Amino acid sequence: MVIGKTETVEKSGDLNLLPFRRALEGQALYVGITGATDSRGGTERMGNAALAALHARGAKVGRSSRIPARPFLISAMEQAALQTSMLVPVKRAIEAALLGKQPASLQDAGRIAASGVKAYFTAGNAWERNAPYTVQQKGFDMPLIRTGTLRNAITYRTEAGGGG
């Protein structure tokens, strides 16, 4: 999620959105896996970011097996409840920026977003269930959860002067 990028909508009814968009111009909020949380430790050959990309698209494995697409980051961020919970801190960030102050409440929005994405792993998703072989190997049927490493890698960062 990047806040402050140029939007195609400048007006909504009688509300002029341009000052609000300009207020956060150059301020960015990124939610996902950062370089600091990419490592899975041990001898894993694939980092968390690559694993997340694989799960977002799904993959064919061999001739007859596949990993179903489970786009957790986008799906979680599209949830109305998560978007609603981010409104207050984003509104505070806009107000601070309009007053010429650093919009520190983007940090709050980032914490809420990262927490919401992590929660999506265990509640509210409609992912295809694990294959019987996977359930047998893991001992339970919770897609994308084995050790919690991928889920725990979800974080956020804010950037001033970036936005792109």
Q: List the Cα angle 124/143/47 in 5-degree steps.
A: 115
C-alpha angle 25-26-29 in degrees, rounded to nearest 5: 105
Domain extents in the chain? 11-160
**DSSP label at residue 37:** G
What integer is the mean pLDDT of 132-158?
91
Pair of tokens at residue 150: 């991928």
Helix axes 80-98, 105-120, angle to 10 degrees: 170
Give the model confidence (pLDDT) of 86-104 as tens digits: 888 888 888 888 887 777 7
Q: Is the pTM of this model over 0.95?
A: no
Confidence grade of residue 136 (pLDDT, cut at 50, 70, 90): very high
